[in-house]
């Protein structure tokens, strides 16, 4: 069964550094998402993306964050000038349709900011 893949599985970075989290969505999916989860807490929506544009973004997704689809397969989340509170599990997801369509999640990237 096709899956969403994320790399790296774990990223450690120092406060103030930039990180790029990478995702390869399922190949026939057109809608992409980033969510984050702070240590076993709620799953928080960050951003959705379609047709090379952001569709929706949350209050968390401020100027520190950006997303990009640099080629036909990758979908990236860039976090500039990381803060301690950015430490979390970041999940990428994709879906076939915009509405009423199951989200397929990758295994996540655990980001630790020291």
| Residue 65 exposed, middle or buried by CB count within 10 Å (0-12, 13-18, 19+) | middle
Helix (H) / strand (E) containing 68: strand 65-68
103 binds another protein (CB under 8 A): yes
Q: H-type helices in 12-65, by residue range?
A: none
Q: Which stretch binds another protein (CB under 8 A): 12-20, 68-76, 78-86, 101-109?
A: 101-109
Q: Which stretch binds another protein (CB under 8 A): 10-18, 20-28, 35-43, 70-78?
A: 35-43
Kindly tell me which residue out of 88, 91, 94, 113 binds another protein, with binding defined by CB under 8 A. Answer: 91
51 binds another protein (CB under 8 A): no
Closest by Cα among 32, 47, 41 to 79: 47
106 binds another protein (CB under 8 A): yes
């Amino acid at each position: 069964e096709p899956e969403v893949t994320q790399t790296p599985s774990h990223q450690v970075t120092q406060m103030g550094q930039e990180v790029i989290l990478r995702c390869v969505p399922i190949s026939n999916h057109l809608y992409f998402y980033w969510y984050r989860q702070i240590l076993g807490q709620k799953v928080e929506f960050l951003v959705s993306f379609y047709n090379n544009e952001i569709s929706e973004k949350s209050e968390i997704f401020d100027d520190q964050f950006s997303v990009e689809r640099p080629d036909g397969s990758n979908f990236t989340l860039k976090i500039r000038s990381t803060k301690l509170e950015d430490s979390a599990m970041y999940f990428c997801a994709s879906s076939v349709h915009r509405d009423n369509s199951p989200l397929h999640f990758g295994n996540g990237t655990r980001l630790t900011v020291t």
